[in-house]
Amino acid sequence: MTETVFIAAAGIVSPLGNGLDATATALQENRTAIAPLTLFPLLQGTPLPVGQVPDLEDGPLPRTHRLARQAARMVMAEAGTPPPEMVLLGSTTGGILTTEDLLRAKSCDQAAYRHHGLASVADDIADFCGCRGPACTVSTACSSGAVAIALALNLLRSGQATRILAGGVDALSRLTYFGFHSLQLVDRNGCRPLDVDRQGLAVGEGAALLLLTTTRPDNPLGVLLGAGLSCDAHHPTAPHPEGRGAHQAMQSALRDAGLEPAAIDYINLHGTGTRDNDLAEARAICKLFPNPPPLSSIKGATGHSLAAAGAIEAVVAALAVSRHLVPANTGGRQPDPDLGLLPERTPGHRPVATVLSNSFGFGGNNGCLVVGQADTPAVATRKKLDDVLAIHGSACLTGAGLQEATLTALQAGTVVAGMLPARQLEEALPARQIRRVKRLARLALLLAQEADQATGNGVSPSAVFMGTGWGALSETYDFLTRLTESNEQFPSPTDFVGSVHNSPAGQVALHSRATGANVTTSGGDHSFEQALLAALALLGEDETALLLGADEGHAPLSCLLDPSISDGQPLADGGGALQVSRNRHQARCLVRLPFYGRGNDKDLPERLIDALGGVTFVTTKYAAVLAGIPAGSYQQGMAQLENFFHRIGQRLPLWPYRACIGEFASASAVAAAMAATFVEAGTVPGALLGGADLHLDREAKLLVLGTGKALTAMEFFRP
């Protein structure tokens, strides 16, 4: 399978300016836009240098959303119709800057927090562009934008879409500004990548979106030739000292593109200006490239825009191949001789056919992209992978306990909603493993441990795909509370590290020594389904992965952020995990994701039925429906479900699982673990369906529907 993926259009908003022309001019002039922070007032000290976007248009939406909108507007003005079939957006901040102000004002207005979640940015861009397919959020810290683009590349190659809008966005916030300062990773003199006197990064912001398509446009900016993902599985923040994960990701990207290292004309470095990161990246490059090509980092010009960085630099890579521009290593004056690299001192114009662009993030999350000139053919031949994953083991966690206790309670007709006491989590996990992490990471680690034991094949996962609707609420709240109570003097570095959405998946990778792809998705009530989408697109033929979803209940944040939770309502949390691969040998169950749609509720069920194979297939093959109907969108979800039953002409046995499991975003991960268990056992407990046990014949399938802002379908069946 060989498929060329074109960059049809791009939008970019950064401290250097708005649009391709402004960005190219600033890079040609070797300008830096790093300057002291002015976005929000400080209670202590002199503002640190940051990369701040000037003159951002005002509006009711949070800053991150407005940055993304501005980039999307550029793309749509250039590319026009049809709208993208999917939106894949990398982000780590969402509406956090607005949330910080609300929390300081002690606001209890749930509606005011409606744009907090990372998913709200992707949803807004999808609505803005008229996208009717998935609106997915990737949150892998500073590699998020690159990972979102890599995911888009694989979805386009597999034929699941022909037109995807992908990229990254993040806004400055107190969380990131004070967080990186607490880690002593900020250079008060600005960012000086690869410099002998470098002392750290400058936190930045921005947005970049690329319209990727398999249909050749009139004037493509370039082609996306390959991508590589890896995880260091070494440390929550520090890279592997020899750059092991960076080397693996670069090597995978070149292999994916069908290129040798000598074919690369320019490397756009991650180059943050921190001593350890620059050294690790340099060692990885020297190992892979005996004679490195021209290379530089633009973070001395833009600052480090976190989730947006990989996308901004992908646009810069497209500028390099389309305008023959090699940016300078802005900010660097005297190259560090210990790095063994000589970055570009001044901008240059020279032929550039291929660019390797690097992005690395907390948790050892690495993403590398290869961009080529518009006429470069796709040379890598890839085997078309199945759209099914084999399940070899499962685990879940609810208020009733782990999977066996949960299943026993459900069979007895008992509601399992609630929160497992913290002491039981502590007793179930090694003390050394959990001493620096809080509830969400502990939930994820326990699920990983249980799934591994349930599988019992001695095979550790090489990749991790995790969905979480709200991320680590405990660390986020504790960081912001301590920041406020100390008058911004004593932010907690440990809480900052734990607050990023991908921190739990990083902990799981450390536990499992999983050095393959490590992808965290955050899609609200459809977060687990987005993790499944990523696993289906990215998991290699010979790899094994842990696929999980988890969310924590947190007072007071849960009732402020999640519209399905009202103030005073008992909290519930937990999650589910599946060990999956593409090898069906000794599989206990199979899973696929036949539908993920957004848009008109009246139209969605009809599109779902078509995707499932038509009315006759639905009524003869599906034995029961497990439906997730979030309380925050109950009327919408019930309307979708009733419309579905109306169109197939009958009601299938139904389990509305959130009524039993509880209201938390990744409840569908528990439903997935239960569905896999029911299929393997050949029985759905009658207590769930309001009647006798439902016995499944060999060909019967279970359908897990997610309703609300989107309509999703997961299908579980026997091998």
Cβ atoms < 10 Å from Cβ of 377: 10
Return the sign of the alpha-carbon dihedral for residues 513, 518, 521, 526.
negative
Secondary structure class of 612 (helix, strand, coil): helix
Q: Of residues 115, 181, 234, 270, which has the active-site annotation?
A: 270
Whether 44 and 487 have beta carbons less than 8 Å apart is answered as yes
User: What beta strand segments (E) does 72-196 contain?
Assistant: 86-90, 135-138, 163-170
Phi and psi torsions of 372, nearest 5°: -125, 170
Q: Of residues 115, 304, 501, 526, which has the active-site annotation?
A: 304
> What separation in angstroms does the CA of 86 have from each of 459, 660, 717?
34, 32, 27
Start-to-end CA span in the chain (Å): 26
Query: Does 392 participate in catalysis according to the annotation?
Result: no
Query: Does 234 participate in catalysis according to the annotation?
Result: no
User: What tokens does 560 get?
Assistant: 């402020």
Whether 223 and 373 have beta carbons less than 8 Å apart is answered as yes
Query: Does 142 participate in catalysis according to the annotation?
Result: yes
CA angle, 217 then 223 then 227, to 5°:
140
Secondary structure class of 622 (helix, strand, coil): strand
Cβ atoms < 10 Å from Cβ of 129: 20
Return the sign of the alpha-carbon dihedral for residues 661, 667, 670, 671.
positive
Residues 187, 200: Cα–Cα separation, whole Å: 4
Residues 572, 398: Cα–Cα separation, whole Å: 8
- 512 by Cβ neighbours in 10 Å (0-12 / 13-18 / 19+) ranks as buried
Cβ atoms < 10 Å from Cβ of 302: 30
Q: Of residues 129, 131, 142, 660, which has the active-site annotation?
A: 142
b/e sequence 84-107, b meaning 16+ C-beta within 10 Å = bbbbbbbbbbbbbbbbbebbeeee
Tell which residue, 147, 119, 80, has the closest CA to residue 313.
147
Q: Give, to the nearest 10 degrees, the angle between helix 527-538 and helix 667-681.
A: 60
b/e sequence 133-150, b meaning 16+ C-beta within 10 Å = bbbbbbbbbbbbbbbbbb
DSSP letter string over 423-477? HHHHHHS-HHHHTT--HHHHHHHHHHHHHHHHH-S-PPPSEEEEE-SS--HHHHH
Whether 532 and 547 have beta carbons less than 8 Å apart is answered as yes
Q: Which residues pair with 370 in a beta bridge?
A: 226, 356
Cβ atoms < 10 Å from Cβ of 627: 24
- List residues with catalytic annotation: 142, 270, 304
